[in-house]
Amino acid sequence: MTVQANIVVITGEASGDAHAGRMIAELKQLAPEISIKGIGGDNMRAAGVDIIVDFSELAVMGLVEVLKRYRHIKKIFNQMVDLLTAERPDLLVLVDYPGFNLKLAKAAKKLGIPVLYYISPKVWAWRKGRVKTIKQVVDHMAVLFPFETPIYEMAGVPVSCVGHPLVDAVKRTLTTEQAKAKFSIDPEHRVLGLFPGSRRSEVETLLPIMIEAAEQIHQHHYDVSIVLPLSPGLDEQVLEPILQQTTLPIKVVSGDFYQLTSACDAIVAASGTVTLEIALLGVPHIIIYRVAPMTFRILKKLVKIPYVGLCNIVSGKPLVLELLQDDVTVARLKKELSLLLTQADSKAVAQDIREQVLMALGPTGGAKNAAKQVLAMLT
């Protein structure tokens, strides 16, 4: 298909960059002539996007944390408004990151630029009033989860459920034993994965606790190897001062994320899209999260659902243990991770969780379906 068009794509974090990268790769297959620029990271670059600002400049989690970087984020926002004003693209595609993106949608609306919102803000969890804003400034919602569709239909917002791209993207290509061999890990060792998130604030808060728990586990189980993936967009220099505080041998791996995850016998992970990927790979894990105390108090009043982990949210059941805020302690992490590493049925339970999550996620072909929606709005 020949489509001469210019579009701008905006994402503000690693998971959004990954989703956008998959969608844009499919879009380029369908219409290679489309010119794309925006905010993103390595995945969008690889798909052929002209990256104006790297998403790592925006990747902040928590109300208090965002306030600390407000001036910097506002400067980038103004830069994007200037870009839209000067170039008047044929379409603005916004990927999650609602605090920034809904304001940008409002600016685009004033300029007469059509807006596609890919990956809905979590209006089903908190700030449901955002649906009214979306109706005013967004032309079409492309959502991932089937349960999101009626929320927008009832509000009169054009919507389509394109399906979650991870249903197709997450594939286990190696057995646990093969994955251990790939990373030169002793085949007799059990592997514990520390996945502290993709944002600097998450890593600085959660990784020291993860490491201390791992140290205590290692004292009792010498046949445990520790691995740590370097998240896209995260500078390794963020890890260095934390890793220098321990003598524990931790293998830090950049890239090969699914293979590294497959090598693990148990994982402790910061809440986020990564926990859905771990679940879909069938690896035993627990989910943790901690933010500034003031942020937590505010969120506790606003959030209307009982879970933070995506696999628990989509299934409507507590499939995976969640530890939040004051429950994130070294003693509790040591206890729960030791159980995952030693219980004989851990992997069987993780496989059952995988099947339940797949059933709840709905249609396949998410990235291609989203790309087709882009084309529909252009043509």
DSSP state at residue 106? H
**Whole-number pLDDT of residue 308:** 87
| Residues 223 and 131 grouped into a single domain | no
Strand partners of residue 117: 94, 141
| Residues 188 and 265 grouped into a single domain | yes
| Residues 14 and 156 grouped into a single domain | yes
| Residues 253 and 150 grouped into a single domain | no
| Residues 294 and 373 grouped into a single domain | no
**Whole-number pLDDT of residue 300:** 73
| Residues 115 and 56 grouped into a single domain | yes
Mean pLDDT (10-residue bins), the chain, 379 residues:
87 91 96 95 95 83 60 91 97 94 96 97 82 96 92 96 91 94 95 92 93 94 92 84 93 94 97 93 96 76 80 92 94 96 95 94 90 95
- One-letter identity of residue 240: E
**Whole-number pLDDT of residue 1:** 63
**Whole-number pLDDT of residue 22:** 95
Question: From CA 145, how far away is CA 149, in angstroms rounded?
Answer: 7
**Whole-number pLDDT of residue 253:** 94
Q: What is the CATH number of the domain that holds 159?
A: 3.40.50.2000
**Whole-number pLDDT of residue 201:** 84
Pick from 319, 312, 12, 311: nearest CA to 166: 311
**Whole-number pLDDT of residue 63:** 54
Question: From CA 299, how far away is CA 321, in angstroms rounded?
Answer: 20
Domain assignment present for 74: yes
Contact 323, 336 (CB under 8 A): yes
Pick from 330, 325, 376, 378: nearest CA to 162: 376
**Whole-number pLDDT of residue 66:** 59
**Whole-number pLDDT of residue 81:** 97
> Which two three-digit tokens encode residue 82?
């200037």
How far is C-alpha 136 from the geometric centre of its chain's CA atoms?
27
Strand partners of residue 268: 194, 286
Question: From CA 103, how far away is CA 73, in angstroms rounded?
Answer: 12
> Which two three-digit tokens encode residue 184?
């030169």
**Whole-number pLDDT of residue 122:** 85
| Residues 137 and 198 grouped into a single domain | no
Question: From CA 282, how far away is CA 25, in angstroms rounded?
Answer: 27
**Whole-number pLDDT of residue 3:** 75
Strand partners of residue 254: 230
Buried b / exposed e over 225-242, threshold 16 CB at 10 Å, is: bbbbbbbbbbeeebbeeb
| Residues 301 and 371 grouped into a single domain | no
Burial of 199 (0-12, 13-18, 19+ CB in 10 A): buried
| Residues 142 and 190 grouped into a single domain | no
| Edge-to-edge strand ranges of the sheet holding 285-289 | 250-254, 224-230, 190-195, 266-270, 285-289, 322-324
| Residues 138 and 277 grouped into a single domain | no
Residue 269: CB atoms within 10 Å: 27
How many independent structural domains does the chain possess?
2
Query: Structural domain of residue 155, as residue ranges?
Result: 6-164+363-378
Supply the Cα-derived Rg of the chain in whole angstroms.
21
